[in-house]
Each structure stands twice: as structure tokens, then as C-alpha cells.
Structure 1
Amino acid sequence: MNITLRQLRILEAVVEHNSYTDAAKALFMSQPAISMQIKQMELQIDLPLFNREGKQVILTEAGHELLHYAQKIRQQLEEAELVLQELKGLKRGRLHLTMASTANYFAPQLIAAFHRVYPGAQVTLDVTNRTGLLEALDNNSTDMVIMGRPPVGHQLTSIRFMDNPLVIIAAPSHPLTRQTKTIPLKDLADELFIVRERDSGTRIAAERFFASHDMQLKTAMEMNRSEAIKQAVMAELGLGIVSLHTIEMELALKRLVVLKVEDFPIMRHWYIVHRDSKRFSAIPEAFLNFVASEASTLLQIPAV
């Protein structure tokens, strides 16, 4: 097989733009030239890469496989470029960081502190849910992720850098807020909870906690963001289980109350995670070391 890097870039462009014509414009080529390059690749592998459905071009199974390798090759070349530039003294200082949506409450402080030490760092930041984090790691499309419970069996390196307490929150008007003593967990058996989506680390931890106490977490609503859970709890639609990092402002304004419940908080942790095989340039390597050594002093868990 004699497919060139240029042809792989053309394949990526056609998929990205879902059009030969738009891919041609993006690459400053003619549409017939794009068609010819795709045809040459198909002759090389003796399989079609696209099916046409109206004006759309749909990847075949062979197209999906070749696109996967095209993306891997491009990512490795980008890593090689950074390493070689550093050897020449042309450090570009790029960091691609992907984080759980809950981490967005504290991670900007960490990035700002890092940027004061490394002002040349160019940070790309993506915020997504747990499914998106795992896809970014599996596809090697990010340098590292900030997340809760790391997955098992994905050939990953995880560095724990901070506690992540999960607490039960209520509207100030909720009857349980008037309790002066620790609330027995059994007293929550009939309470309804506003919860995160099923793949969320917070949801998984909460359900495991209740199951370990022979109880079931009764859910009233399912939300995909901590902000939505907080708003629903403030509207007296139920109780919530959230990271303590997400409610600092609401506690200060007395819009939410943390209930003192038996065996709470659920103590989880924040990790910075990357692929075992990831080869870092100077700035991502510096960020890893910075988080490991400085995060615990820079970031404070809100008091309750």
C-alpha cells in the first residue's frame, strides 16, 4: 500500500466537511483533484471509502478504518514536530487539556497559576462528560484529562492530586436542614434526589454508596450538569449529591445547605490521567509536575 500523507489529509478533510467540494475549498484544491485522490486510495486498497447518499458522502467500513489510522498518524507527527522544535530551541509550549465538567469549577485557577510560571504556554481546554473523557483518552486526541475515578484496563497513567468530597445538598427551606444532629442515613430512604446522568462518576459513586448500605438512591430527575442539579435543588424539587467544589458560591450566598448526613461526605479524588504511551513535549510535562506538586496548596476545598 502506497498511500501518502497528503491523501490521508484529504480523507480527513472530506469526512470533516462531509463534502468533496467543501474539502477542496478548505485545502485550496479543485473538486476533481479531491475525487481523483480518493479514487487512487480506493484503487490502492481495492475497497470503496465512501458511499454517496444524495449530496452527502458516508464512510464505508474501510473508510472508517483508514480514517482511524490517518488520525493516529497525524497526532504522532504533531508530537514529533513539537519534540523536534524543542531540540532546535523553538519551544511552542502547547497543552491540550480535557476535563470533567465538575473540574471546571477549580481547574481555571490551576491553569492561571501555571500560566504565571510558564507565560508562553498555549492551553486548549475542552470540557466534557465522562464518556467524552474516555473517548479523548482512547483516541489520543488530548494530552491529558482531569477526572474523577480513572477507568480500568485502558493502559493509562493516573496521578491523584486532590480530594473530591461528595456532599448532600438541600434548599434552605427543606425540613432536614433544621436537624442539629447528624442525620441517620436511613432517614433519607424516602427522599427524592436530583442526579447526574448514568455514566457520571458522581452518579456511580452515589449509587454504590447507597447500595453498600442496603439502600436504593431514589431519583426524581436526571441532569447532565452540576449547575442544573443545583438549580433544581434550590427550586425544592429534591435533594442533590454534588462535589463540594461546585457549591462554594451558593454556600456563601446561603442558597444551598450541606446536610450533615451519617457517613458523608463520600470521599472521591481528582486525577490527572494520560495514556501510558504518551510522549510529552516540555509544557505538558511541566504541567504534570506542576499539578502533582502545587495543586494541593493552590486549591482549597470550600468549608461547610
Structure 2
Amino acid sequence: MKNATLRQLKTFETVARRLSFSRAADELHLSQPAVSTQIKHLEQHAGVPLFEQLGKRIFLTPAGQEMVGHTRAIIERFRAVEEALVRLKGGKGSCLNIGVISAGGYFFPRLLADFNQRNQGIRLELAVENRDQLLRQLDENRIDLALMVGVPTDPIMVSEPFAPHSYLIVASPSHPLAGKRQVPVCELTKQRFVVRERGSDTWGVMEDAIADAFDKDSEPIEIKHTETIKQAVMAGMGISFLSAHTVDLELKAGMLVVLDVVGFPIVRQWRIVHRADKRLSPVAAAFKHFLLEQGRPGSIP
């Protein structure tokens, strides 16, 4: 293994985590053949296969399973050395390594731009994933901070609220409930829902708020991508429970409408989350302080 490169190790860790060459290629911004080549070279250095394919799925071999933990430790050591050297150089090029649920993608870049303007020379690594994936990345120490809505149940995670987050029931303007006043939640049982996937913050809030509104004989249509959900709702496939951040443009353009449902909007809190035992870098601590200071009600569009 003495000739293995850090790039090969990072590629291996990504494929091992995703268990998919194509998804790893997307995350690494590489072509799938390039990922396969990196893994092939690493297996040559190791002298044993690290993955095996059964049907269309890939799995780690026993050698691959043994190697995952060591690989992550090596990558983390390189990262720690890099950050230590950056601090010794005076902070220029410090890395802010953060994750956010997809709803945050509709306003979070503006916060980042504001923070970056106040703190020149910061390098950003941003992951946009669902809630479960972000918690996993925090647990594996692959991100320093995460922005989400639900309160983590694991006591190793600490979270602090910094801004309100509203959820709405939206529909096509031609939907029969559009324009009706004070629609009772029970009326929604007759509707087909198009929703985010299980494991997302949106699903968790929806399940907590309106679980009884689902037709027990009809499972909601789960779609991972919010943009696709909005297109499905606009096409009349059903109604949806979505973050207000995600539908602002469509509401202004008249492509979607908010249903006047009793008890809505549902308001939760944006939270900044990290491991309790995580020693935040100066830039991560500064960004956390920035969010807690800037995230007053009304300060996030």
C-alpha cells in the first residue's frame, strides 16, 4: 500500500460510503471511468479486491471493510494537518466544512456570501443532503456543522435554534381546494400527496404535524428532489407539504398556490448542529456565532 495516493484513498472512501460508482463520481465531480480507474489502481496496490459486484449492486469485500476505517483516519489526519498549517499561516484559506438540508439551498448561499464578505480568504466545502445523511456525516466527522430543522435524538449532538422555518401545503392553482378558506386538515385525507423522502427533515416535520391527513389506503408519492416535487404538483399530480423557502418564486409567479389549511403554516426552527465533543475550528466557531447573531426572526428570507 506504500504507493497508494491520497486521491485514491478519497475515491475509495466515497465509493465505500455510497456503494455506487456513479453516485461517487457525482460527489467527486469525476467521470465514472475515472473513479473505476482510481479503485483499480488502489486494488493493485492492496493486492486484493476491495469491492465485489452481485447483480447490479456492489459490496465491500472483507479487505474493503477492514480498509474503510483506516482510510477515514488517514484522510482526517491530512485534513487536521492542513488546518493546523493554515492557522499557523494566519488563517488565510481556512476551510468552512458545513452541510445543509436541501431547503436551505434556497437562502443559505446568501448567508454564506455575507459571511465570506466579512471574512475574506475562506475556503468552503458544502454538502447538501437530507437530515439523516447530514447526521451521519457529522458522526463520521466529515463535516463540522450542519443546518437542519429537527432536533437530533442522539445525545452526542448539540443543536441551537437560530431562525424560524415555515412549512406550507401547496397545490396547483387549478386544484379544487385552491381559493377555499379555512380547509380542515381532515379534508386533506382525500388528497394525494407528493412529498420528500423518508429521512428528510421535511418528511419528519410533516409526519409529526399531519400524519392523520394521509389516506391510509394511498401511500404518498415520495420524491427526493424538491424541484421535481414542485413540477409534479404544478402538473396536477397532487398536493405537497413543503418548506416556504422552496416555493417563494413559484408562488410569486402564480405557478403554485398556498392552501388555506387550518393550523398552517407549521413553524419550526432552523438549527445549527455539531457533535458535542467536536473542537470547532476558528472559522467554524465564527460561522456558528454569525448564524446565531444574524438568524433573528425576519432576517432570513
Decide whether aligned partners of structure 1 residues 165 and 297 sit closer, same or farther in structure 2, where only a CA change above 3 A counts. Answer: closer
Query: What's the counterpart of residue 247 of structure 2?
Result: 247
- What is the Cα deviation at residue 101 of structure 1? 1.2
Query: What's the counterpart of residue 126 of structure 2?
Result: 125
**1:216 and 2:234 matched:** no
- What is the Cα deviation at residue 95 of structure 1? 0.9
Tell me, yes or no, if the aligned pair for 2:52 and 2:60 is still in contact at 8 Å.
no
Query: What's the counterpart of residue 237 of structure 1?
Result: 237
**1:113 and 2:114 matched:** yes
Once the two structures are superposed, what CA deviation does each residue of 1:37-72 show, in whole Å capped at 9, x if it has no partner?
A: x46xxxxxxxxx646869xx9753354234213313
Normalising by structure 2, report the TM-score. Answer: 0.78
Distance between the aligned counterparts of 1:257 and 1:107, measured in 2? 24
AA partner of residue 130 (structure 1): R
Q: Which moved more, 1:98-107 or 1:276-285?
A: 276-285
Aligned pairs for 1:278-293 (under 5 A) are 278-293=278-293
Distance between the aligned counterparts of 1:14 and 1:274, measured in 2? 25
Provide the alpha-carbon RMSD of the alignment: 3.1
Tell me, yes or no, if the aligned pair for 1:170 and 1:239 is still in contact at 8 Å.
yes
- What is the Cα deviation at residue 189 of structure 1? 2.2
**1:169 and 2:142 matched:** no
- What is the Cα deviation at residue 281 of structure 1? 2.3
Query: What's the counterpart of residue 27 of structure 1?
Result: none
**1:74 and 2:71 matched:** no
Decide whether aligned partners of structure 1 residues 223 and 285 sit closer, same or farther in structure 2, where only a CA change above 3 A counts. Answer: same
Q: Which moved more, 1:286-295 or 1:263-272?
A: 263-272
Once the two structures are superposed, what CA deviation does each residue of 1:140-168 show, in whole Å capped at 9, x if it has no partner?
A: 11121111214311611212111111110
Alignment gaps of 5+ in structure 1: 25-30, 40-48
Decide whether aligned partners of structure 1 residues 165 and 10 sit closer, same or farther in structure 2, where only a CA change above 3 A counts. Answer: closer
Q: Which moved more, 1:260-269 or 1:124-133?
A: 124-133
SS at match of 1:70: helix
SS at match of 1:247: helix
**Aligned-residue identity in percent:** 33
Distance between the aligned counterparts of 2:111 and 2:63, measured in 1? 43
Q: How many residues align?
A: 274
- What is the Cα deviation at residue 298 of structure 1? 7.4
- What is the Cα deviation at residue 18 of structure 1? 5.4
Distance between the aligned counterparts of 1:142 and 1:290, measured in 2? 18
Distance between the aligned counterparts of 1:286 and 1:74, measured in 2? 24
Query: What's the counterpart of residue 141 of structure 2?
Result: 140
Find the partner of 2:9 among 12, 28, 37: 12
Query: What's the counterpart of residue 261 of structure 2?
Result: 261
Decide whether aligned partners of structure 1 residues 158 and 124 sit closer, same or farther in structure 2, where only a CA change above 3 A counts. Answer: same
User: Which has more radius of gyration?
Assistant: 1
Tell me, yes or no, if the aligned pair for 2:101 and 2:148 is still in contact at 8 Å.
yes
Decide whether aligned partners of structure 1 residues 237 and 13 sit closer, same or farther in structure 2, where only a CA change above 3 A counts. Answer: closer
Alignment gaps of 5+ in structure 2: 14-34
**1:158 and 2:184 matched:** no
